[in-house]
Amino acid sequence: MSSIEPDRPPTTIGAGVPDSDIQAPGVTPGSTPGAGAGRSVGLVGPLLVYTALRLGLIAVITALLMLFMPFIVALLFAIIVQLPLSWLLFAGPRRRVNEAMAASSAQRRAERERLRAALAGDRPAAEGERAS
Protein backbone atom coordinates (compact mmCIF):
# COMPACT_ATOMS: atom_id res chain seq x y z
CA MET A 1 0.00 0.00 0.00
CA SER A 2 1.49 3.29 -1.11
CA SER A 3 1.12 6.61 0.70
CA ILE A 4 1.07 8.38 -2.68
CA GLU A 5 -2.28 8.27 -4.42
CA PRO A 6 -2.07 9.84 -7.90
CA ASP A 7 -5.01 11.83 -9.26
CA ARG A 8 -7.08 11.36 -6.13
CA PRO A 9 -9.90 13.86 -6.00
CA PRO A 10 -10.24 15.66 -2.67
CA THR A 11 -12.86 14.16 -0.39
CA THR A 12 -15.56 16.39 0.97
CA ILE A 13 -16.96 16.69 4.45
CA GLY A 14 -20.34 18.12 5.36
CA ALA A 15 -21.60 20.77 2.96
CA GLY A 16 -19.13 20.10 0.17
CA VAL A 17 -16.10 21.57 1.97
CA PRO A 18 -12.91 19.83 0.85
CA ASP A 19 -11.13 18.15 3.76
CA SER A 20 -7.93 19.96 2.78
CA ASP A 21 -9.66 23.27 3.71
CA ILE A 22 -10.67 22.14 7.19
CA GLN A 23 -8.32 23.05 9.98
CA ALA A 24 -8.31 23.15 13.74
CA PRO A 25 -9.10 26.45 15.47
CA GLY A 26 -5.99 28.54 15.95
CA VAL A 27 -3.98 26.60 13.38
CA THR A 28 -2.98 28.78 10.49
CA PRO A 29 -2.26 27.35 7.06
CA GLY A 30 1.37 26.31 6.81
CA SER A 31 1.68 25.70 10.53
CA THR A 32 1.53 22.33 12.16
CA PRO A 33 -0.50 21.51 15.27
CA GLY A 34 2.74 20.56 17.10
CA ALA A 35 4.36 23.92 16.29
CA GLY A 36 3.85 25.04 19.89
CA ALA A 37 6.16 22.27 21.06
CA GLY A 38 9.10 24.66 20.74
CA ARG A 39 7.85 26.40 23.85
CA SER A 40 9.12 23.57 26.06
CA VAL A 41 12.70 24.32 25.00
CA GLY A 42 13.18 25.95 28.41
CA LEU A 43 12.96 22.49 29.95
CA VAL A 44 15.55 20.85 27.70
CA GLY A 45 18.56 22.90 28.85
CA PRO A 46 18.26 22.38 32.62
CA LEU A 47 17.32 18.73 32.10
CA LEU A 48 20.40 18.07 29.95
CA VAL A 49 22.67 19.79 32.48
CA TYR A 50 21.25 17.80 35.41
CA THR A 51 21.44 14.53 33.46
CA ALA A 52 25.05 15.20 32.43
CA LEU A 53 25.99 15.98 36.04
CA ARG A 54 24.44 12.75 37.28
CA LEU A 55 26.11 10.67 34.57
CA GLY A 56 29.43 12.35 35.38
CA LEU A 57 28.97 11.51 39.04
CA ILE A 58 28.33 7.87 38.11
CA ALA A 59 31.53 7.84 36.04
CA VAL A 60 33.62 9.34 38.85
CA ILE A 61 32.25 7.01 41.52
CA THR A 62 32.69 4.01 39.20
CA ALA A 63 36.31 4.98 38.53
CA LEU A 64 37.00 5.27 42.26
CA LEU A 65 35.29 1.99 43.13
CA MET A 66 37.10 0.11 40.34
CA LEU A 67 40.23 0.38 42.44
CA PHE A 68 38.63 -2.06 44.89
CA MET A 69 36.18 -4.19 42.85
CA PRO A 70 35.35 -5.38 39.32
CA PHE A 71 33.82 -2.92 36.81
CA ILE A 72 30.24 -4.26 36.83
CA VAL A 73 30.03 -4.32 40.62
CA ALA A 74 31.55 -0.83 40.82
CA LEU A 75 29.06 0.47 38.24
CA LEU A 76 26.10 -1.00 40.12
CA PHE A 77 27.31 0.48 43.40
CA ALA A 78 27.95 3.84 41.70
CA ILE A 79 24.41 3.96 40.33
CA ILE A 80 22.98 3.32 43.78
CA VAL A 81 25.33 5.73 45.58
CA GLN A 82 24.81 8.58 43.11
CA LEU A 83 21.07 8.80 43.86
CA PRO A 84 21.37 10.41 47.31
CA LEU A 85 24.64 12.16 46.40
CA SER A 86 23.12 13.90 43.37
CA TRP A 87 20.17 14.99 45.51
CA LEU A 88 22.60 16.63 47.94
CA LEU A 89 25.29 17.89 45.55
CA PHE A 90 23.15 19.11 42.65
CA ALA A 91 20.32 20.92 44.46
CA GLY A 92 20.57 24.02 42.25
CA PRO A 93 20.27 22.25 38.89
CA ARG A 94 17.53 19.99 40.31
CA ARG A 95 15.53 23.07 41.40
CA ARG A 96 15.93 24.61 37.93
CA VAL A 97 14.61 21.40 36.34
CA ASN A 98 11.66 21.38 38.75
CA GLU A 99 10.86 25.03 37.98
CA ALA A 100 11.07 24.42 34.23
CA MET A 101 8.80 21.38 34.55
CA ALA A 102 6.28 23.36 36.60
CA ALA A 103 6.29 26.21 34.06
CA SER A 104 5.88 23.78 31.17
CA SER A 105 3.05 21.99 32.95
CA ALA A 106 1.25 25.26 33.74
CA GLN A 107 1.61 26.38 30.13
CA ARG A 108 0.17 23.09 28.83
CA ARG A 109 -2.67 23.27 31.35
CA ALA A 110 -3.55 26.84 30.34
CA GLU A 111 -3.46 25.93 26.64
CA ARG A 112 -5.65 22.88 27.25
CA GLU A 113 -8.20 24.97 29.15
CA ARG A 114 -8.17 27.62 26.42
CA LEU A 115 -8.80 24.98 23.76
CA ARG A 116 -11.57 23.34 25.79
CA ALA A 117 -13.28 26.68 26.32
CA ALA A 118 -12.97 27.53 22.62
CA LEU A 119 -14.39 24.15 21.59
CA ALA A 120 -17.25 24.45 24.07
CA GLY A 121 -18.02 27.95 22.79
CA ASP A 122 -17.56 29.53 26.22
CA ARG A 123 -15.07 32.09 24.96
CA PRO A 124 -14.96 34.00 21.72
CA ALA A 125 -12.20 33.12 19.31
CA ALA A 126 -8.80 34.52 20.24
CA GLU A 127 -7.36 37.46 18.38
CA GLY A 128 -6.45 36.45 14.86
CA GLU A 129 -9.06 33.68 14.77
CA ARG A 130 -12.44 34.17 13.14
CA ALA A 131 -15.54 32.09 13.58
CA SER A 132 -16.92 30.99 10.23
Residue 57 is assigned to a structural domain of this protein? yes
Q: Is 101 a member of any domain?
A: yes
Residue 48 lies in a domain: yes
What is the number of domains present in the chain? 1
Q: Kindly indicate the confidence band of residue 35, based on its pLDDT and cuts at 50, 70 and 90.
A: very low
Give which of 131, 55, 108 is closest to 86, Cα–Cα: 55
Residue 68: inside a domain = yes
Q: Is 8 within a domain?
A: no
Alpha carbon distance 44, 101 (integer Å):
10
In a domain, 123, yes or no: no
Q: 0.75 cut: is pTM over it?
A: no
CB atoms within 10 A of CB 101: 15
Is residue 13 in some structural domain? no
Taking only the tens place, the pLDDT of each residue in 54-86 is 999 999 999 999 999 999 999 999 999 999 999
Segments forming the whole domain that contains residue 100: 42-118
